[in-house]
């Protein structure tokens, strides 16, 4: 079976099968230097326990198919064991100082190694050109005492003007430092089979979460203006708020990482790239209490003064479970979002699959364009596709300006949605709708294309009306196939819909409608 080597580390490798199937394929075996190391079905997998700067032969066998490649692991200048710096790893002793000392002492291309054990720690500040390696059964555990978390000022004054160090929901707000904090870090690896645990279930971060207490809640991993950061294999869980938050960063990659938060934990998005470029998620599994992946680019202040779009983002061969949305764009995306591709993924048990949200007042750079979802399987996703330009977030979200359904003048505050494409997607277990798209009366959604979509609703007795989009005065939906309002162009090509409460799309103010082979099954 053919495969590609996607990432090489000093002690591990990530490979992806050349398969068009979704997330997993027929069983295969992986041999390393002739010895079997893994039997799996996932399209993207990782191997650990390798030695640095060593050449290996890698063979993948499926049935009679057999493919071999050779590779060499990356060089490692030194391996520093955190226990040699005084870390106890007993889950009781506070190991912050010892862990920070190991990081500070690590030279370029060196590795800070966490052997098996539980390392209780406050925030650790990372640096460039090193690796953190968490061995199997190693747990980096967040200190539950908020008094042990330093603050990161949202903005402070420097010689050349403002200096931004932190963010909260799209604004430069003072926040607690995160368990792993990277500021202006380049070429950093965080990998291994261990766990990074924010420990929020044993702290008070989830209590009264909308109130600012000294500062806003930390993330578990925060990367500010970083470049070339790779994460592989790790499990990240129990985050105080957003779990992994790259911010104004470039070349960020996650390989076979797992992100888990309780389903009722507040604002615990899995992965939130904000104003980031060149981002890859490959073979990851995310199950959280909010959006699995939320692509953002700040609110009005940041887009006006420090404009950067979120762009060139790829999500492939991932499993996204529970949560409000599988992949969400917005609403804090005033810098715009472009060139997003999500493919060969399973969305399972989330409220929404593709969730796009914005509102008036976001600013002139709020343009979502070039968004493509294809070759996806949605299982028990209640509302597979939702687009909402009346999203009622923020203190003024219910104001007349945001929610007024008459056409207002188009100005520098008006957001825009360009071209959105979804194709080759199967949805089972839908409840509220397959598509609910609501544009602004003064700024229609540009072009929405759905091609080769197969959708099956739950039986009527198992459904209940649901809030498809968060806007004022919009009714809950139950079994609605397609609802589109204020859309410039809608293309429905090869749609098969079974079990809906209606027998045709509900279209209001759709200027161009191209329909081919839309079939309803009773």
Residues identified as active-site: 290, 324
- Residue 55: exposure state from Cβ atoms within 10 A (0-12, 13-18, ≥19): exposed
Task: Report which of 442, 345, 423, 427 is spatially closest to residue 382, judged by C-alpha positions.
Answer: 427
Sort strands 235-237 and 416-417 into parallel, antiparallel or unpaired: unpaired
Is residue 323 within 8 Å of residue 353, measured between CB atoms?
no
- Residue 207: exposure state from Cβ atoms within 10 A (0-12, 13-18, ≥19): exposed
Which parts of 388-496 fold into alpha helices (H)?
400-403
Q: How far is residue 203 from each of residues 141, 197, 200, 206, 276, measured CA to CA in Å? A: 12, 12, 5, 8, 30
Helix (H, G, I), strand (E, B) or coil at 291: coil
- Strands (E) across 250-366 are located at 250-255, 258-260, 277-282, 285-287, 293-295, 310-316, 319-321, 325-329, 337-348, 352-357
d(CA 272, CA 278): 13
Helix (H, G, I), strand (E, B) or coil at 104: helix
């Amino acid at each position: 079976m053919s495969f590609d080597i996607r990432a090489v580390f000093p002690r591990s490798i990530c490979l992806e099968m050349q398969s068009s199937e979704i997330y997993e394929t027929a069983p295969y075996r992986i041999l390393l230097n002739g010895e079997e190391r893994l039997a799996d079905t996932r399209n993207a997998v990782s191997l650990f326990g390798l030695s640095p700067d060593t050449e290996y032969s890698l063979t993948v066998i499926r049935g009679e198919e057999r493919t071999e490649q050779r590779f060499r692991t990356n060089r490692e200048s030194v391996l520093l064991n955190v226990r040699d710096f005084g870390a106890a790893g007993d889950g009781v002793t506070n190991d912050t100082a010892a862990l920070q000392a190991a990081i500070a002492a690590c030279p370029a291309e060196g590795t800070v190694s966490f052997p098996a054990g539980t390392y209780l720690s406050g925030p650790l500040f990372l640096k460039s050109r090193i690796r953190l390696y968490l061995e199997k059964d190693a747990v980096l555990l967040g200190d539950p005492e908020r008094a042990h978390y330093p603050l990161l000022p949202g903005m402070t004054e420097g010689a050349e003007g403002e200096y931004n160090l932190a963010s909260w929901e799209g604004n430069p707000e003072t926040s607690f430092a995160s368990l792993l904090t990277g500021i202006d870090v380049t070429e950093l690896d965080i990998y291994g089979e261990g766990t990074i645990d924010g420990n929020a279930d044993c702290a008070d971060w989830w209590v009264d979460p909308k109130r600012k207490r000294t500062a806003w809640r930390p993330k578990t991993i925060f990367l500010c203006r970083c470049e070339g950061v790779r994460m592989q294999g790790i499990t990240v869980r129990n985050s105080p708020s957003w779990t992994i938050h790259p911010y104004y960063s470039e070349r960020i990659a996650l390989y076979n990482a797992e992100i888990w938060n309780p389903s009722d934990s507040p604002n615990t998005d899995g992965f939130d790239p904000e104003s980031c470029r060149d981002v890859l998620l490959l073979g990851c599994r995310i199950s959280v209490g909010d959006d699995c992946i939320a692509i953002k680019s700040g609110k009005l202040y940041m887009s006006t003064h420090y404009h950067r779009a979120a762009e060139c983002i790829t999500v492939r061969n991932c499993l996204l479970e529970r949560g409000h949305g599988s992949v969400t764009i917005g609403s804090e995306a005033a810098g715009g979002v472009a060139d997003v591709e999500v493919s060969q993924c399973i969305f399972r048990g989330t409220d929404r699959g593709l969730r796009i949200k914005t509102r008036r007042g976001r600013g002139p750079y709020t343009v979502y364009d070039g968004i493509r979802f294809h070759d996806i399987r949605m299982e028990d996703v209640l509302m597979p596709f939702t687009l909402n330009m009346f999203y009622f977030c923020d203190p003024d979200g219910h104001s007349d300006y945001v929610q007024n359904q008459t056409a207002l003048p188009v100005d520098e505050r008006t957001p825009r949605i360009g071209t959105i494409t979804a194709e080759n997607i199967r949805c089972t277990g839908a409840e509220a709708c397959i598509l609910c798209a609501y544009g602004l009366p003064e700024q229609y959604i540009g072009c929405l294309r759905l091609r080769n979509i197969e959708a099956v609703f739950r039986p009527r007795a198992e459904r209940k009306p649901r809030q498809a989009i968060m806007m004022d005065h919009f009714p809950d939906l139950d079994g609605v196939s397609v609802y589109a309002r204020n859309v410039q162009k809608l293309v429905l090509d090869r749609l098969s819909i079974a079990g809906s409460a209606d027998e045709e799309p509900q279209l209001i103010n759709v200027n161009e409608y191209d329909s081919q082979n839309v079939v309803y099954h009773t």
